[in-house]
Amino acid sequence: MGNFSAVVIDFETTGLSPNLGDRAIEVGAVLVQGTQIVDRFQSLMNPGMKISSFIEDYTGITNKMLIKAPPVKEVMKTLVKFIQQHHLVAHNASFDSKFLDAEFSRINHVRRNEFACSMLSSRRIYQDAPNHKLETLVRYKKLQTDGTYHRALADAEMTAYLWLRMISDIKSKYGLKQVSFPMMQQLCRVPKGKLEGFMIKFCS
DNA sequence: TGCCAGGCCCTCTTTAGGGCCTT
């Protein structure tokens, strides 16, 4: 009751910067409704270039796997249909949003969906965590995981469970009946020292 | 030409520097 839907998304890529020619090689996305994951999408993508041994080691995705994968553009067309008009969530959203926008621009699609960032939210909600890497937060909050990291669908699922846990923790800590997407989005920008005041504004 | 990520956020700050996060 009072829960919004959102698509939680994660990319594996050839590197850190689409501006320097990096491309997406895998996308994972899950649709969250209420307190559950209700749909999933995952695909490898052939970026038309070789990936480095660093990326092969980091992700477990190999050049051999990508040769057989559909081209990025083809997968992006399917992704557009999956995310529809839903709000978007990612862990360090500035990273995933820039790759999403770069790959969408190659199919002449403009994203209108708003993003929220689970990393920025977690820095405010879980100030006592050892750090705010996804892997650390999954252990810190004992979230559901099969132990796979740095693969798109696994990371998207863990980010979704983190997202749902943050909403649940905010509700119980501040006595809120519901938490909206705009509130979570604004939370990403609240100075840490002003968190209490921000929450009080949303009470009752 | 030759460089090469970039936004957030803290602090020994704002005429800046550096760690955190993502691959």
Q: What are the extents of the domains in chain A?
A: 5-203
For the domain made up of A5-203, the CATH class stated in words is alpha beta
Answer yes or no: is A99 CB < 7 A from strand B.
Answer: no
A79-138 per-position pLDDT tens digit = 999 999 999 999 999 999 999 999 999 999 999 999 999 999 999 999 999 999 999 999
Asked whether strand B has any atom less than 7 Å from the CB of A194, the reply is no
> Which three-class secondary structure state does DSSP give residue A97?
helix
* Res A3: pLDDT: 64
Q: Is A34 left (phi over 0), alpha (psi -120 to 50) or beta?
A: left
* Secondary structure letter of residue A4 according to DSSP: P
Global model pTM greater than 0.85: yes
Long-range contacts of A2-5 (CB under 8 A, 24+ apart): A2/A177, A2/A178, A2/A179, A3/A33, A3/A34, A3/A35, A3/A167, A3/A178, A3/A179, A4/A87, A4/A180, A4/A181, A5/A31, A5/A32, A5/A33, A5/A34, A5/A86, A5/A87
User: In this predicted model, what pLDDT tens digit does every residue of A152-196 receive, in sequence order?
Assistant: 999 999 999 999 999 999 999 999 988 999 999 999 999 888 898
Distance in Å, residue A89 CA to nucleotide B2 C1':
37
Strands (E), A34-160: 36-44, 87-90, 115-117
State the nucleotide closest to A92 in CA–C1' terms: B22
Q: Which nucleotides in chain B lie closer than 7 A to a protein CB? A: 4-10, 20-23
CA of A7 to C1' of B20 (A): 25
User: Is pLDDT above 80 for A62?
Assistant: yes
